[in-house]
Amino acid sequence: MSPEGGGPRDGARVVVITGASRGIGEHLARAFAGAGYQVEASSRRGGPGVAELDVTDGAAVRSYVADLLARHGRIDVVINNAGVIDDEVDLAASDPDQWWSVQEINVRGPYLMTRHVLPAMLEAGSGRIINMNSGAGTRAGEVASAYNVSKTALARITGSTHLAGRGRGVYAFDLAPGVVRTDMTTAMRAHDDRTEWTDPADVCELALALAGGELDAWSGRMVRAGADQPHRLRAAAGRGLGPDARRIVLEPYGDDDPLAT
């Protein structure tokens, strides 16, 4: 989706989208291209208009980001979308190698991309990083525990990115897409009887609003497609957000809890 050797079209903003060859990533790539962004799409296997990139390979990610910066001179938005889920079995039955592989892709991948993009964004004084998260990250999972763990960890990466960019023009968000009909979700037993699915258009609308700077007050917090609309999030931010609103925190058992702060 990026002209070979070409820079941004007429100064178009540059968005990097991982896991963009299918599913939600493909929807996002098309939506951002339609909105006038210069889309740099990647996936593990690559494809037409999609670069081949293993997000768990530190050297490959560093080289990929350096090449984009050399060609475009900027990266305005990153959407860390590449992700996988483990088998729907309980922790005792889980496969250790598969369990760790989920962390490599869902946690190390976004970390590496953020790590190598963030310095350029901070130097430019502008940038937005959107991590595709999940409500699964807010709770323990009876099955597919690796996925829940990875998404909780991803929220911490989002929070640390938010703190690194605070006051410096760089923002980070957790975007939970709800349950979009994809190869991954339709293969899950948890969704065997599902009749209602999140419209990909809702995911794209929210991602574009985050990328465009409409919802910067939500930096470091989670929003969910299908439940949240940009105008409602703007209104909520206008009324003021509590310090822990839409963040994963330790809930004290009462005012006398010694861990309460």
Residues 247 and 158: beta-carbon distance below 8 Å: no
In a structure prediction context, what are the per-residue pLDDT tens digits for the chain, which is 261 residues long?
A: 544 444 444 578 999 999 999 999 999 999 999 999 999 999 999 999 999 999 999 999 999 999 999 999 999 999 999 999 999 999 999 999 999 999 999 999 999 999 999 999 999 999 999 999 999 999 999 999 999 999 999 999 999 999 999 999 999 999 999 866 666 665 656 666 656 766 999 999 999 999 999 999 999 999 999 999 999 999 999 999 999 999 999 999 999 999 986
Q: 245 lies in a domain? A: no
- 204 phi/psi in degrees, rounded to 5: -65, -40
Task: Let me know: does 209 contact 183? Beta carbons within 8 Å.
Answer: no
Residue 3 counted as domain residue: no
Domain contains 99? yes
Q: Where are the beta strands (DSSP E) in 89-201?
A: 127-132, 170-176
The C-alpha R_g of the chain, in whole angstroms, comes to 18
- In a domain, residue 132? The reply is yes
246 occurs within a structural domain? no
- 3 state DSSP class of 196: coil
Q: Tell me, yes or no, whether 37 lies in a domain.
A: yes
Query: Quick check: is 109 in a domain?
Result: yes
Whole-model pTM: value is 0.91
CB 222 within 8 A of CB 176: yes
- One-letter amino acid at 197 equals W
Which residues form the domain of 35?
Answer: 9-239
Residue-by-residue DSSP string for 12-26 = PPEEEESS-SSHHHH
Q: Would you say residue 34 lies in a domain?
A: yes
Structure tokens at 181: 């009909």
Identity at 235, one-letter amino acid code: A
- For the chain, the domain total comes to 1
| Contact between residue 234 and residue 215 where contact means Cβ atoms under 8 Å apart | yes
Q: What is the CATH number of the domain that holds 18?
A: 3.40.50.720
As annotated, the active-site residues are: 147, 151
Determine the pLDDT at residue 260: 82
Hey, what are 156's tokens? 């911490």
The pLDDT of residue 9: 44
Q: Measured between alpha carbons, how far is 181 from 249 in angstroms, rounded to an integer?
A: 30
Which residues, listed in sequence order, are joined to residue 131 by a DSSP beta bridge? 80, 174
Determine contact, residues 21/182, Cβ cutoff 8 Å.
no
